[in-house]
Amino acid sequence: MSFTGQRKGRLIVFEGIDGTGKSTHIGHLRKYLEDRGVEVVQSFEPTRGPWGRMLRDSAVTGRLSVREEVDLFLKDRREHVETLIAPALARGAWVLLDRYYLSMMAYQGARGVDPASIRAANEEFAPVPDAVVWLDIPVSAALERIGSRGERDAFETEAGLTACRSVFASVHEPWMLRVDADAGQEEVARRVREALREFLPENTVE
C-alpha cells in the first residue's frame, strides 16, 4: 500500500464499534509517534463543538431521527475538517482521529441510510484517510467491556452494534486495516503498529 504522497501530514483514523479499544490504542500510538519526534494532533468525533454536543446529549436523552443525526454529523464533521483536520495536515502533522465518517456509514447505515451515499456525501469535503485502523472484536466482547465501563448509551444496542460491525467489514479499501483487537492491550498495540508499518518512521515496529 503506497502512501499517497500529496499530503504533508498523515490522517490515521481509529474505527470500530463501541468498546473495541479506540481511545486506548490512539493513546498508545500517539505516545509511540511523539517519542519519535512526530507532531501529533489527536481528536475525535462527534466533537465538542455545538453540533457534536447535541449528538452526545442525544446518546443519553434518546436518539434523534436518522435524518437529524445525518444533518448534525455532517455539520460537525465540516467544522472539524475546516478548523482542525485540514490545517493540521497542511502543517505536516499526523492527525489521529477517534472515529470519522466510517462510523457514520456504520451507525447511520445501521439505521437504514445507504452507506455508499453516506461515504459520497462525506468525501465531497472530508479528506480520505491515509489509513483506518479498524479494531475488531466480537460484539459480545465489546458489550462486556462497555458494561464494565458503565451504563450503555442509546447507540450501544447488541442488534445495532452487530449491524455496525457488518458495515465496517464491507469497506474494502487498501487503507482499511482490520486489526483483531480481541487480545491483551500490549499485543493489540503491537498489531496496530504492524498494520501501520508502511507509515511509521522506518524500521521502528517492535
Ligand X SMILES: Cc1cn([C@H]2C[C@H](O)[C@@H](COP(=O)(O)OP(=O)(O)O)O2)c(=O)[nH]c1=O
Residue ranges of the binding site for ATP: 16-23
Can you tell me which residue has the cell 482490520? 178
Residue 188: CB minimum distance to ligand X, A = 17
Out of 11, 13, 22, 80, which residue is the one contacting ligand ADP (CB under 6 A)?
22
Query: From the list 59, 66, 121, 205, which residue makes contact with ligand X (rule: CB under 6 A)?
Result: 59
**What residue 165 binds from ligand ADP, ligand X, none (CB within 5 to 8 A, per partner kind)?**
none
Answer for the pair 51, 75: CB distance below 8 angstroms, yes or no: yes
- Candidates 6-14, 104-112, 128-136, 187-195: pick the segment binding ligand X (CB under 6 A): 104-112
Overall residue count recorded for the chain in this entry? 206
Angle between helix 50-61 and helix 66-80 axes, rounded to 10 deg? 150
Site for ligand ADP contains 18 (CB under 6 A):
yes
Residue where the block lists cell 462497555: 146
Would you say 56 or 78 has its CB closer to ligand ADP? 56
- Minimal distance in Å, beta carbon 202 to ligand ADP? 27
Whole-number minimum distance, CB 107 to ligand X, in Å? 3
Q: Is 122 in the site for ligand X (CB under 6 A)?
A: no
Q: Which one of the spans 18-26, 56-64, 121-129, 159-167 is the region binding ligand ADP (CB under 6 A)?
A: 18-26
Is the Cβ of residue 27 or residue 87 nearer to ligand ADP in the bound state?
A: 27
Q: Quick one: which of 179, 152, 55, 181 has its CA closest to 108?
A: 55
The 10 Å Cβ neighbour count of residue 136 is 18
Annotated binding site: 16-23
Q: 145, exposed or middle or buried, with CB in 10 Å at 0-12, 13-18, 19+?
A: middle
DSSP 61: H
Cβ count within 10 A of residue 143? 18
Residue 18 interacting with ligand X (CB under 6 A): yes
**CA separation for the pair 174, 129 (Å, rounded):** 11
Asked if 155 interacts with ligand X (CB under 6 A), we say: yes
Given 73, 94, 168, 175, the residue binding ligand X (CB under 6 A): 73
d(C-alpha 14, C-alpha 70), whole Å: 20
Q: For the CB of residue 179, give the shortest distance to ligand ADP in the complex, in Å.
A: 11
